[in-house]
Structure 1
Amino acid sequence: MSRQLQPTFVLVHGAFANSFSFAPLQAELGLLGHRSVAVDLPGHGFGASYSRAYQAPQDLEGLASEPGSIKGVTLADNAAHLIGILERAKRNGPVILVSHSRGGMTATVAANARPDLIDRIVYVSAWCPVELDAGDYYAEPEMATVDVASLAPAMAGNPAELGLLRTNFRTADADVLGALKAAFLADSTDEEFLTFLNTFQPDENLDVGTSADRAQAATWGRIPKTFVRLTRDASMPLALQDRLIREGNELTPKNPYDVRTLDSSHLKWLIDPAPAAQVLGELTTLLEVPDVPDMSEVPDGA
C-alpha cells in the first residue's frame, strides 16, 4: 500500500492583522485532521508596536507621532519571510498557501519567485493584482461602493511622516466604530466585532508593490489556484473579487481558478470558521502529488 504525504496549510493574514486572527480556523482545521501554520509577517504579532499612547486613557497626540517597528518594512521583506516559512513547510510534504485580504499581495510575490514551494495557492477575498497595481483598483468601478472616507477618522498621524499606516482601533467614537463594522464585519454581533477589533494591531506598512509584483504567468501561473469569494464583503466587493478571478483566468487560461463561495463579510469566516475549514479540507483532494510508500508495512530487514 502507499499513502500521500499530509499537506500543510500556510495561512497569511491581511492588513493590521496577525497570526492570532487564524486561531479559530486552525482549531477547526485541526479537528478535521489537517496541519496548519499561521504566519506573522514582519512587524506583526509579537513584533508589532503597542505604545502607551495607545492604551487607555489614550494620548491621541502621542499616538499620532510615536515611531513604530513596521516602518521601512517592504512587500519584498514580507515575501522573503514567507518564502522562508514555505521552504521549511515543504520539507514535510505538499503546501497549500492560503492568503486573506492584503496578504494576497505577499502570497503573489512569493509565488512569482518560488512556485516550486507551493502545491496550491488560495486567495480568500485576497488581492492578486494582474492588470493594475493594487492601489489603482480603488479608482475602478468595482470599488465604487467602498466608502474609504468613512474610515479616515480612524487613522492616526500622517503616514508620510510616520513612514507607516496607523489606525486607532481602540477608539470609542461610535461613528468610527460603525464605519469599521460596516466595512469589515457587518454580519456579526457587536460583541464579536469588538472582540475581533481588539486582535488588530495599530500599524501597517506602506508598501503595496509595483507592476513588478503583479501575478506572472510563467511562475505564479504554473500553480493550481483557488479563489474563495466572500459574498457579503463590503471592503472588497464581490464585483472586484470576480474581476481578479477573471483577470487571473485571462492571464493563465489553461490554469483557471477553482472558484468557491462563502456567505461571509470580510472577517466573519474567521469567526465562524467551519464552512471555510470544510472548503479548505476539500482542496487537499485536488493535490497532484506522488504517493509515497507506507514504511510502517515494510517487514523488518527488508
Structure 2
Amino acid sequence: MSEQQTPTVVLVHGAFADASSFARVIPELLADGLSVVAPAVPNRSLVGDSAYIASVVRQIPGPVVLVGHSYGGAVITVAGVEENVKGLVYLAGYALEEGESLGELQGRFPDSDLASALVYTTFPLEGSTEQGTDVSVDPARLPQIFAADVEPELTRVLAVSQRPLAAQAFGEPASAAAWKTKPSWGLIATADHTINPEVERFGYQRAGMTTVEVASSHLVMLSQPQQVADLIREAVRTVTG
C-alpha cells in the first residue's frame, strides 16, 4: 500500500439516527474526490455493532479514516483496531477506555436532558423466548434535545424515524481502545443536550486527541456540516502524509 494513498472515509452513525444524519457532510467529502462509505449500524450491542463495522472496514481496499458520531464513537473505539484504520474522528461521541462501558463513562458526570426523555420498548430476541429492550427518545422532546439548531421540519421527521439502541449496549465494556494506537480527532458540541459536553471533553482529553469545540446541538453533522467536514479533511490530510 502506498503511503500516499488517500483513505476511504467511513461514517458511523449513532443511536436514535441512521446514516442519513450525514446527508450534509457526504456531499462535501464527495466534492473533494474522497471515497465515502456510510453503513447502517445495527444498534443491537456494542460487541456486535463493532464487529459489524470492523467487517465493513476489512473489506475496503486501502486505508480508512473512521468517523463516529455519538454512540458511533464507542463503536469506532473498538472497530478502529483494524489494521487499515489510519485515523479516528469523534463527533460529539463516546471515547471509551478499554474495559469501560457507556454507562460507566456517562455516570461520571451529571445527566443530560436526554435521561428524562428516554422511552423503553420491547422486541423479540432471535432464538430466545426472552425479550430485549430498545431505547429511543420521546418524539415530542427529540427535536429540542437532539437537534435544537436544525430546522423544525426536519427534526419532526427525525423524531418519528428513529433507529433505537438496544439497552444491552449501554452496559457492555469496550474490548479495545483504538485511540491508543491511532491518531484521533474529537469534536465537542458545546450546546449538546443529548450527551453532556463534559463527557465528550473528558474522553477526548484522556485520549490525547486533537479537539475542536463547536457551538452546536448533538446533531452537529446537520447543523454545522462545514465544520464537521473540515475536521474530517484535517484527519485525511494528516494520515495521507
Q: CA deviation at 1:30?
A: 1.1
Question: Structure 1: which amino acid aligns with 2:27?
Answer: A
C-alpha separation in 2, matches of 1:262 and 1:159: 40
- 1:16-165 aligned within 5 A: 16-42=16-42, 73-89=44-60, 91=61, 93-112=62-81, 114=82, 116-130=83-97, 132-140=100-108, 142-149=109-116, 151-152=117-118, 154-157=119-122, 162-165=131-134
- 1:1-302 aligned within 5 A: 4-42=4-42, 73-89=44-60, 91=61, 93-112=62-81, 114=82, 116-130=83-97, 132-140=100-108, 142-149=109-116, 151-152=117-118, 154-157=119-122, 162-167=131-136, 176-202=138-164, 204=166, 206-208=168-170, 210-213=172-175, 215=177, 220-248=179-207, 256-289=208-241
Q: CA deviation at 1:94?
A: 2.2
Contact preservation (8 Å) 1:230, 1:238: yes
Aligned partner of residue 80 in structure 2, secondary structure: helix
TM-score, normalised via structure 1 length? 0.68
C-alpha separation in 2, matches of 1:145 and 1:105: 18
C-alpha separation in 1, matches of 2:218 and 2:182: 25
Aligned partner of residue 168 in structure 2, secondary structure: coil
Structure 1 residues not aligned, in runs of 5+:
44-72, 170-175, 249-255, 290-302
Q: 1:205/1:147 Cα in 2 relative to 1: closer, same or farther (>3 Å)?
A: closer
C-alpha separation in 2, matches of 1:34 and 1:205: 35
Name whichever of 94-103 and 264-273 sits farther off. 264-273
Q: CA deviation at 1:99?
A: 0.3
C-alpha separation in 2, matches of 1:278 and 1:202: 29
C-alpha separation in 2, matches of 1:111 and 1:156: 31
C-alpha separation in 2, matches of 1:184 and 1:124: 14
Contact preservation (8 Å) 2:92, 2:189: yes
Aligned partner of residue 234 in structure 1, secondary structure: coil
C-alpha separation in 1, matches of 2:27 and 2:160: 20
Contact preservation (8 Å) 2:146, 2:194: yes
What do the CA deviations read for 1:94-121 (whole angstroms, capped 9, x no partner)? 2100001111121111124x2x221101
Q: Which has the higher helix share?
A: 1
Q: Which structure: larger Rg?
A: 1
C-alpha separation in 1, matches of 2:150 and 2:133: 29
Q: CA deviation at 1:233?
A: 0.8
Question: Structure 2: which amino acid aligns with 1:18?
Answer: D
Q: CA deviation at 1:76?
A: 2.1
Contact preservation (8 Å) 1:22, 1:270: yes
Q: Which has the higher strand share?
A: 2
User: Which runs of structure 1 show a deviation greater than 4 angstroms over 4 or more consecutive aligned residues?
Assistant: 157-161
What do the CA deviations read for 1:193-243 (whole angstroms, capped 9, x no partner)? 11333442356462235445352xxx5411011111111111112211111
C-alpha separation in 1, matches of 2:102 and 2:135: 19
% of aligned pairs identical?
27
Contact preservation (8 Å) 2:185, 2:210: yes
Q: CA deviation at 1:147?
A: 5.0
Structure 2 residues not aligned, in runs of 5+:
none
